[in-house]
Structure 1
Amino acid sequence: MFSKDADFSRVTVILRGYSYEQCRCVVEQLVGTRLGAVEVAMNTEGAAETIAKLVNEFGSEVKIGAGTVTTVERAKAAAAAGSAFMLSPVCFTPEIFSIAKDAGAVCVPAAFSPTEVFTMFEQGADIVKIFPAARLGAKYLSDIQAPLNWMPLMVVGGVNGGNVQEFFDAGATYAGIGSGIFEKSDIIAMNADKLAEQVKSFENSVRW
């Protein structure tokens, strides 16, 4: 049913509340690294415009997508901006699934319970985001996949360089991480050298 070789970055960088220029500075540091995807949260002012600009400049090197896709309006805006994927902190509605799939975007709704996880895959999810993952713990991944079999799951919420490998070892295929990689002050200041150092440090914390 699922492929472990799906063309999707193992780690997605989450950017919420930053300007286009700040997001661009982060994306520049990801080109050529193992952190091959960036999510711009749709509850950020100007998110759709930021996504469109980043797709235009970096889309062939880094997957640029939309996060916090909780409404049909946000899904439509994300699709129009050229988002390669759409994530959410909640389950997708059938209409959001339809919009995302028509746009060719990878669908990553969130779930908390085994029933929600199963239902999201039944309705068309490519990956299901377990959120908030740290509240559940890494063993939750192996626990739910024992009866349901392997599924492409992404852990988000409280995941960082210190614990991400634990989640991968327990059965997560992907991780979405924001403050667990970068110092917020360095993003705000657009300190490219510091951000590049933080990317390298995170890459060294994972057994790819």
Structure 2
Amino acid sequence: MIKHRVIRAIEETGMIAIVRGVAPEGILPLARALHDGGIRVIEVTCNSTRHLESISALKQEMSDKMFVGAGTVINPVMAQLVLDAGADFVLSPDFNPDVVTMVHEKQRLMIPAVMTPSEILQACRLGVDLLKLFPANSLGVNYMKEVQGPLDNLSLIPVGGITLENTREFAKAGAFAVGVGSALTNKEWIARGDWEAITQQARAFIRTFHEGKKA
């Protein structure tokens, strides 16, 4: 099942690359640069320009190299559209049982955002495999540690304000993976076509995450 293959790719790399605000014309060179740096899982947010085109383009050109997800999915209609465009998995900025149920019915991986223990447990009761802890940097590493005290079987993916500096600490604290946006898909690098900088940054993030897991 594709859901399990996506989960395995996220776990092996420790990374989801978040792409926001990039038009379809720039999505493929960015994806290639990320792939060269070891990224195997990419998320295109639904508040990006012509995001459905970007998802379709990535699936057509990179499906043998990367899993393509859609982020910022906030209702079942959006979920249906991104799945129709070819998304392998779906992420949301909140916990919406209707979206979770719809994506599960399509046998795709759903990663909802959670913050409180109540949201976490509600998501777990719906059979969610991975949980997006958002906004992670504002909540902090200690918050994640404390939540995992009584709930030590969670697979949490911190998202929001993730940097090289805090990636190691989140990994050390037990994060399943991290979702990285602007610190990886840097808009200045994209604007000037500095794909090598993005490739090197991807390698640095993956290396830092795995160092943290071993610490």
TM-score (norm 1): 0.90
**Which residue does the alignment assign to 1:62?**
66
Q: Is the CA contact 2:162–2:179 (under 8 Å) kept in the aligned structure 1? A: yes
**Which residue does the alignment assign to 2:191?**
188
Unaligned runs of 5+ in 1: none
Alignment deviations for residues 28-71 of structure 1 (CA, whole Å, 9 cap, x no partner): 01225432111100111211121011011111211110000101
Q: Is the CA contact 1:26–1:192 (under 8 Å) kept in the aligned structure 2? A: yes
2: CA distance, partners of 1:181 / 1:31 = 12
**Which residue does the alignment assign to 1:160?**
163
Unaligned runs of 5+ in 2: none
Alignment deviations for residues 66-118 of structure 1 (CA, whole Å, 9 cap, x no partner): 00010122101111011111001100222x22331233321100011011011
**Which residue does the alignment assign to 1:77?**
81
Is 2:108 the partner of 1:105? yes
Check 1:6–1:183 CA distance in 2 against 1; reply closer, same or farther (3 A cut). closer
Aligned partner of 1:114 among 85, 103, 117 = 117
Check 1:149–1:200 CA distance in 2 against 1; reply closer, same or farther (3 A cut). closer
Alpha-carbon offset, residue 206 of structure 1? 2.8
Q: Is the CA contact 2:171–2:210 (under 8 Å) kept in the aligned structure 1? A: no
* Code of the aligned partner of 2:177: Y
Alpha-carbon offset, residue 201 of structure 1? 3.0
Is 2:134 the partner of 1:131? yes
Q: Is the CA contact 1:111–1:130 (under 8 Å) kept in the aligned structure 2? A: yes
SS state of the match for residue 18, structure 2?
strand
SS state of the match for residue 82, structure 1?
coil
Is 2:15 the partner of 1:14? no
Structure showing the higher helix proportion among its residues = 2
SS state of the match for residue 157, structure 1?
coil
Check 1:64–1:132 CA distance in 2 against 1; reply closer, same or farther (3 A cut). same
Give the fraction of aligned pairs with identical amino acids, expressed as a percent: 28
Higher relative contact order (CA 8 A, sep 6+): 2
Question: What do you get for the CA RMSD once the two structures are aligned?
Answer: 1.9
SS state of the match for residue 148, structure 1?
coil
Aligned length: 204
Alpha-carbon offset, residue 120 of structure 1? 0.9
**Which residue does the alignment assign to 2:57?**
53
